[in-house]
């Protein structure tokens, strides 16, 4: 199976530069020992019974993780009338390539949508001699065309726009594997208003790349704006299955700073939650790039720490930033205006 991740393109003197990224996998056989062991671990971790294992939601989500990565698969994609050589997938099954195109291609194949947003679609070009171990699929991808200047939102996903309960590991896993994704109340309406005003969106999250398709479907179903995805590399062999979903690494900060480097003329609002390290990550980015950060918005989620400790945490961060840059909210209705 071939999955393309939502990416973005930026203007260059000669037109646009875009990236194509994704992952090549093959499903683990139903009766394979590796699949049986992974399911057994999930069953023990979540205290599942056979009824849980048989639900459509569990099977769909579990299948997002129960696969073998395919290295060395060469790919080509069709962008308009042009074929782009993407190159081979790496040892983790991932691939990424950049290519350029002119404004004529953008005008013909990426018409403006609501708020002026533009997306360029592309499709996988089937191999003349397909690898039978990787079933051919009609894979498609999209690239967001982002102008040099304007406003952008970089948003977390878990507990910012999607109810995940990251602070409770078991609830996080249940929300990931057993339940349909649910939007944080009010956030789709707020983000949709911002999108209509011409805001571009990027989602930077510690969620694993395996969930990219599920998350894109969730954003669409919930009425949240589409945006480029910047998720985390996760392999079952690295740890207990899904056991490290809560880990935050420097990869998130690097992803955010890469986006801002690619668009030095744009201003960014960083949206996250207080459940883990979003406030500290965003504060660090704001100190490094004060001219680009227009605001930091943090959703306050239930915390086991004392209220005084939580207040001290935010007071300490706020003192390191320009007055008013860091704002917290409990209700999405408090986000009517974009900083």
| Domain termination site, one of 128, 146, 164 | 146
Q: Tell whether 179 and 317 lie within a shared domain.
A: yes
Number of domains in the chain: 2
Residue 238 has pLDDT above 50, yes or no: no
Q: What is the pLDDT of residue 308?
A: 67
Higher pLDDT, 130 or 220: 220
Query: pTM to 2 decimals?
Result: 0.90
Residue 162 and residue 140 share a domain? no
pLDDT band at 109 (very low <50, low <70, confident <90, very high): very high
Whichever domain contains 92, its CATH number is: 2.60.40
Phi and psi at residue 203, to the nearest 5° = -110, 110
Q: Where among 110, 129, 146 does a domain terminate?
A: 146
On whether the CB atoms of residues 206 and 247 are closer than 8 A, the answer is yes
CATH number at residue 215: 3.40.50.1000
242 with 111, same domain: the answer is no
E strands present in 28-165: 67-69, 74-79, 82-88, 94-101, 118-124, 140-146, 150-155
The answer on 77 and 204 residing in a single domain is no
Confidence of residue 306 (pLDDT cuts 50, 70, 90): low
The verdict on 109 and 21 lying in the same domain is: yes
Residues 140 and 198 in one domain: no
Average pLDDT estimate for 199-221: 93
Domain boundary among 112, 146, 180: 146
| CA gap 339, 326 in Å, rounded | 10
Are residues 257 and 311 both part of a single domain?
Answer: yes
Q: For residue 307, what pLDDT is reported?
A: 64
Domain around 276: 150-335
pLDDT digits (tens, 9 = 90+) for 143-174: 999 999 999 999 999 999 999 988 888 888 88
Alpha-carbon distance of 228 to 326, in angstroms, equals 24
Q: What radius of gyration do the chain's Cα atoms show?
A: 21
Same domain, 208 and 295: yes
Euclidean distance between CA atoms 93 and 243, whole angstroms: 21
């Amino acid at each position: 199976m071939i999955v393309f991740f939502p990416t973005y393109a930026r203007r260059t003197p000669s037109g646009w530069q875009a990236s194509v990224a994704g992952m090549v996998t093959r499903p683990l056989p139903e009766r394979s020992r590796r699949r049986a062991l992974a399911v057994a671990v999930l069953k023990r971790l979540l205290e599942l019974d056979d009824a849980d294992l048989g639900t459509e939601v569990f099977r769909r989500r579990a299948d997002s993780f129960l696969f073998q990565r395919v290295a060395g698969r060469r790919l080509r994609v069709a962008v308009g009338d042009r074929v782009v050589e993407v190159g081979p997938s790496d040892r983790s099954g991932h691939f990424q390539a950049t290519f350029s195109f002119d404004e004529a291609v953008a005008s013909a194949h990426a018409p403006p949508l609501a708020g002026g947003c533009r997306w360029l679609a592309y499709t996988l070009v089937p191999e003349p001699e397909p690898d039978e171990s990787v079933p051919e699929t009609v894979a498609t991808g999209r690239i967001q065309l982002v102008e040099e200047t304007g406003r952008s939102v970089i948003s977390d996903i878990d507990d910012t726009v999607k109810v995940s309960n990251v602070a409770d590991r078991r609830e996080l896993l249940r929300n990931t594997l057993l339940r349909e994704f649910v939007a944080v109340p009010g956030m789709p309406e707020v983000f949709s208003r911002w999108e209509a005003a011409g805001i571009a969106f990027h989602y930077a999250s510690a969620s694993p790349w395996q969930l990219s398709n599920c998350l894109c479907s969730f954003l669409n179903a919930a009425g949240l704006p589409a945006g480029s995805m910047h998720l985390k590399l996760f392999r079952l062999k690295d740890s207990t299955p899904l056991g490290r979903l809560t880990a935050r690494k420097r990869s998130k900060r690097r992803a955010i700073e890469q986006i801002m480097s690619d668009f030095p003329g744009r201003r960014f609002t960083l949206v996250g939650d207080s459940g883990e390290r979003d406030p500290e990550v965003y504060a660090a980015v704001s100190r490094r790039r004060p001219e680009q950060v227009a605001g930091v918005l943090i959703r306050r989620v239930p915390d086991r720490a004392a209220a005084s400790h939580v207040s001290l945490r935010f007071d300490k961060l706020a003192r390191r930033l320009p007055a008013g840059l860091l704002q917290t909210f409990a209700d999405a209705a408090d986000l009517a205006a974009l900083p």
